[in-house]
Amino acid sequence: MDSEQETQAPVAAEGSKPSDDSESSTDNAQDYDGLTVAELKTKLKESGLPVSGKKSELIERLVASNQKVEDQESGGKQEGKIKIEDIENLSRSELRGVRKKYHILAEELRVKRDELNLKSQTHAKDRNALNLKAKEYMDSVHLYRDRRNGLNVEVGQIRDERSDISKNVSILKENFLRLKRMRFSGRNLPPIARLRKQIQELEIKQMTTPLTRDKERALVEEIASLQNKIREHDELIETDTEVLEARDEFREVEGKRRDLSKSMQKSRQEAQMCHNQMKDSLRLNRSTRRKADSAQKRFVKSKEKADVVHNEYIDYLRAMQDIDRMTASHSKSGSLADQRANAASAEDLFAKFLAGEKLSTEQLMIIQKAGML
């Protein structure tokens, strides 16, 4: 029996990371490789892509399309990256406008993050189910391998036993034929094996060859004549006790040899069946492992994207907190822009005051509040 090397691929770990984007393309190619040409063409039609070409070309077209989509998503992520603005010089109304904008962007990022986390959970669920299925296949590999090996040992034991019996069969057969020749040498009896072979050939001819009634009757009579010779042969042997005992002993051991041959053939066939089932389970284990690895890499990729989006979301939340603190501070002392505008206004009024122009009470209070009087 051919031996098969059973090597179990490592389980896709939850924390492992794909090495680079080329691995992602390889994963997609492996996933598509299990699809039929018709299924590949259906996916191409759904993506609005051409459906002509060989299977390898169809797969290459789908992988390239997926990579293009991923690149576009990555580019969009960089475009929306938060850039904290300089808000110190903004008025309260401008701060409220910026905060509203940040709130909208933060909500969009939160929704996107939750969608990516949900996608990661789906990939993790798929990965775990595939790992479990791969383990079941590997358990079957071990089961069929152990059964096959046990049957191969059994075949070897039966072969050795049959070999020993075969030597004894040859001796007993020779002894039986020798006694028969000695006792019935003048009877001109043909060997029984030859008579049985002739009967078998005639019976096959009767079943497979169109015969006239006369020819069929002659054939039946010939078969009956051969059967009578076998019967006479047996009856003659039964008249000699020593020859009879030699024949029965030979037939008994020959029967054991035939039984051992049948048992060995049965065990050999069962061992081959277990070997084939082991190979099928091993093939399914490896293909399932590849799918689990692909699901793991998709999980890591989605998780990494979710983490990036989450960090951007946190940046916006912190920016909104800064704006809230600054707004609260401005409600007490006014914004820096308001303060600068008031200072400029106070300087203009103070210049008018020095020039002797008449100022209102409110204008004088502005100058006084600025500390110029």
Backbone angles phi, psi at 79, to 5 degrees: -65, -35
**What is the pLDDT, as a whole number, of residue 29?**
54
pLDDT value at residue 78: 39
CATH 1.10.720 for domain 19-79, yes or no, is yes
Phi, psi of 264 (to 5 degrees): -65, -40
Question: What letter represents residue 92's amino acid?
Answer: R
Specify which of 16-20, 37-41, 232-236 reaches the highest per-range mean pLDDT.
37-41
Domain boundaries, the chain: 19-79, 335-373
What pLDDT is stored for residue 21 in this prediction? 46
For all residues of the chain together, what is the average pLDDT? 78
Under the banding of pLDDT at 50, 70 and 90, the label for residue 342 is: low
pLDDT of residue 220 exceeding 50, the answer is: yes
Question: Using CB atoms within 10 A of its CB, is residue 70 exposed (0-12), middle (13-18) or buried (19+)?
Answer: middle
How far apart (Å, rounded) are the C-alpha atoms in residues 189 and 202?
Answer: 20
Tell me the percentage of the chain whose pLDDT exceeds 90. Answer: 30
Q: pTM for the complete prediction?
A: 0.55
pLDDT of residue 192: 74
Helix 55-79 and helix 37-46, axial crossing angle in degrees, nearest 10: 30
Does position 32 have pLDDT exceeding 50, yes or no?
A: yes
Q: Which residues contact 137 (CB under 8 A, 6 or more apart)?
A: 281, 282, 284, 285, 288
At 242-265, the pLDDT tens digits run: 877 888 888 899 899 999 999 999
